[in-house]
Amino acid sequence: MMDENMKIIGSKLGITSQRILRKAEEYSHLVDVRASSTSLSALKLTGSSKIVLCLDLAASACNHVVDKASAVRLSGLQKKLYCTALKAVENLLDLQEKISIKELAVQFGCTDAIPLAQEALHSYEEDYNSKACQEMDFTTLLFQGAALCAACRNLKLKMDRSKLLQKCGVKKTIFDRLVADLEQHIMKAIESKKIVSKKRPRTLLDEVERQFQDSLEPNPKAQKMDETTKKVDYAEWKRRILEAAAQAKETPEKS
């Protein structure tokens, strides 16, 4: 039987759909199973605030718009804390938005940071996987956003850090620590590029250009061969002229 409080609070939010109410109740049970009492107390969630958050998430999953002002008021939380708690519960239920670094960069107007952010996150992921036994999902908004933030700081590109932090829905200390770790990977990548310069493989275009340049430059060996050929040709010509002259001289004497 459905929780009566779920129905009452749902009606105050304008939610009467049984589908949304059942999904919200399912979310509420999952929160109880996956979150310890310590985690819930850290989020300062009461029974009613948890119900409101689950109703909000269930409504979003069913494409139903909820009045955020009413949701915040009914939850008993401040607006900023409500947004943080909503993201935390969303992450707890694996409902977080999947968004790439590229998509985030477009939203925040810092597309120049995309390559560096991707490289930093890839390096961080490789380092983590080589040390940790537990699998981690690096496609979540937290990692994508932190990598983009770290790249923007290194490149001195402006971005709305507060808005990104709110979008990620985590505590500032956690976000800042992750950004700092990713910045270390950026510095390592930059240093390694300075020390080890990778030689670019020659392409067909490079070879054609080389041969063209060679054809423009004088070839000493070829010049020497030409001069030798000229000397041989001249000697042969001189020999034939002398033979012809000798034959012409002998002919009148015989007559």
pLDDT in tens, 169-211: 778 898 999 999 999 999 988 887 765 545 555 565 566 566 6
Q: The pTM is what? A: 0.56
**Tens of pLDDT, residues 229-253:** 555 566 677 677 777 777 766 655 4
Q: What is the pLDDT of residue 255?
A: 43
pLDDT recorded at residue 109: 94
CA dihedral 36, 173, 97, 40 (to 10 degrees): 20
CB 147 within 8 A of CB 105: no
The model's pLDDT over 65-119, given as tens digits with 9 standing for 90+, comes to: 999 999 999 999 888 888 888 888 887 888 877 789 999 999 999 999 999 999 9
Q: Give the integer Cα–Cα distance in Å for 184 and 180.
A: 6
Range of weakest confidence among 50-54, 219-223, 251-255: 251-255
Structure tokens at 254: 């015989």
Share of the chain above pLDDT 90, in %: 40
Question: What DSSP string describes 51-72?
Answer: HHHHHHHHHHHTT----HHHHH
d(CA 200, CA 207): 13
Q: pLDDT higher for 122 or 234?
A: 122
Asked if the model's pLDDT at residue 149 lies above 60, the reply is yes
